Chain A
Amino acid sequence: MARAESLRIVHLDSFTAVYHRSSGITHLITAPAPEILATLGEAGMTFAALTERLATDYDLGDLDADALAARLDELVASGLVSAA
């Protein structure tokens, strides 16, 4: 179960700028991170639900579970996502 923190997200080009309100830190991220953040939202969802939604909403069907888990871990480490 993971949810996006309180974030301000601005799409620039192939990069997306993210302001993390709790830390005051600005991040620049690229696919599939913005899609993950948008899908998770602040309500959050389980890993399985996230995989499913990413496939349908963003056509990221070929994103394998290990890669997605790794991206999620990166987002948690950077503070943009909190895991429960």
Chain B
Amino acid sequence: MARPVTDGWLLARALRTPGNTLALDPAGWAALIATARAEQMIGTLAYRLEGLRVPQAVARLLADARASAAQGRVVALWEAEAARRAMAPIGVPVVLLKGTAFVAADLKAGQGRSIGDLDILVPRDRIDAVEAALISAGWEWVKPDPYDDDYYRRWMHELPPLIHRERDRMIDVHHTILPLTARITPDAAGLLAWSVEVEPGVRILSRNDMLVHAAAHLFADGDLAGGMRNLWDVYCLVDQFGTNGLAERAAHHGLGREVARALRLSAALYGQGARLNPADHLYLRRLTARDGWGRATRPFTRLGFYVRSHWLRMPPAMLVRHLWTKWRGGHRGDIV
């Protein structure tokens, strides 16, 4: 197999300094676009490059990507509105998380962002009422097997996934931002208390809490898949709001180290650079593991991160039991 000609740094450099892309040859453009698509960042790239005198074929592709992102925004905001209507009767406001929050508040981080499911945060003591309200408004379970369901309810930071019967869109209802079995337990009530209204019934996290959430989501909640996009969110939030009070708020949630690392990595990828420690370099290597076709590379690094992320979420004894039961259930291993 041919050695990778390029990796995620091609995308990072293009986002950091859009003008540099004018030096790309056709093969370079093909690699950049493939990588951006693989990282779910083609819309972001398209907005960053808007107005540049790129080759016509590229200009058309990027225009398509912007149109696609704009339509995605419409759909995402409608899902938020549908959730608001469903929860209004029980007096629980919708607190938006991630991409939908960014576009609802017209943040830089939302420009061109691809948005998947609707993610919302609700108080833990209202979660049963929220579940009932959503189901009566037309959402239904994406049927997991009974063990997964039980595991979800007892330990995870969210309800099992719900999908809307007619619109066919998923909603993820969180009551905190990390699984309950993780060693780190953020202040969920604090997230809600400090949330900010966008319009009546629709809220987002405070600016510092959004940053803390992005860092938590990236490092503790996953195996770094989608990391480049996550760090772009961090970069945009810092660029727009600064970091006043961020360190204290992060420490309050027990995520001081993770937020500091997120700031270093996002600065290294998209900003003016940063002083990186050896672990940071390993993270960057994992985050940028793409080739000119957008394929994930560096399998051993990735495997290491997958095991690590599960260890963070569950104590080792539970981890073994969980994976064993999933294996017996005939699930294929989730190794990326």
Judged by CB atoms under 8 Å, the answer to whether A and B touch is yes
**Distance in Å: Cβ of A73 to nearest Cβ of chain B:** 14
B194 part of interface (Cβ distance < 8 Å) = no
Binary CB contact string for chain A from 23 to 47 against chain B (1 if under 8 A, 0 otherwise): 1110000000000000000000000
Q: Which residues of A sit under 8 angstroms from B74, Cβ to Cβ? A: 21-24
The smallest C-beta distance from B245 to any residue of chain A, in angstroms, reads 36
Chain A residues whose CB sits within 8 angstroms of the CB of B325 once the complex forms? none
Q: Main SS of chain A's interface residues?
A: loop
Q: Which residues of B contact A24 (CB under 8 A)?
A: 71, 74-75, 78
Chain B, range 61-115, C-beta contacts under 8 Å to A: 71, 74-75, 77-78, 81
Q: Distance in Å from the Cβ of A26 to the closest Cβ of chain B?
A: 12
Chain B residue nearest to A21 in the complex (CB): B74
How many angstroms between the C-alpha atoms of A25 and B71 in the bound complex? 11
Residues of B within 8 A of A25 (CB): 78, 167
Instruction: Name B28-81 residues within 8 Å CB distance of A.
Output: 71, 74-75, 77-78, 81
Q: How far is the CA of A21 from the CA of B74 in the complex (A)?
A: 8
Q: How far is the CB of A23 from chain B (nearest CB, A)?
A: 4
Complexed CA–CA distance, A21 and B78 (Å): 10
CA distance A76 to B75 in the complex (A): 18
Most chain B C-beta atoms within 10 Å of own C-beta, residue among A21, A22, A24: A24
Report the minimum CB–CB distance from B313 to chain A (whole Å): 35
Nearest B-chain residue to A23, judged by Cβ: B78
Q: Which of B231-266 contact A (CB under 8 A)?
A: none
Could you say which residues of chain A place their CB within 8 Å of the CB of B81? 22-23
Which chain A positions have C-beta within 8 A of B75?
23-24
List, in ascending order, chain A residues with CB within 8 A of B77's CB: 22
B167 to chain A, nearest CB (A): 8
Q: Which residue of A lies closest to B71 (CB)?
A: A24
Cα A22 to Cα B77 in complex, Å, equals 8
B residues less than 8 Å from A23 (CB atoms): 74-75, 78, 81
- Closest beta carbon of chain B to A37's beta carbon, Å: 19
CB distance from B240 to the nearest CB of A (A): 26
- List, in ascending order, chain A residues with CB within 8 A of B78's CB: 22-25
- B5 vs chain A, min Cβ distance (A): 39
Give A21 to B71 CA distance when docked, in angstroms.
Answer: 10
* 15 A-B pairs whose Cβ atoms sit less than 8 Å apart in the complex: A21-B74, A22-B74, A22-B77, A22-B78, A22-B81, A23-B74, A23-B75, A23-B78, A23-B81, A24-B71, A24-B74, A24-B75, A24-B78, A25-B78, A25-B167
Interface residues of B (CB under 8 A from A): 71, 74-75, 77-78, 81, 167
Binding site for B on A (CB under 8 A): 21-25
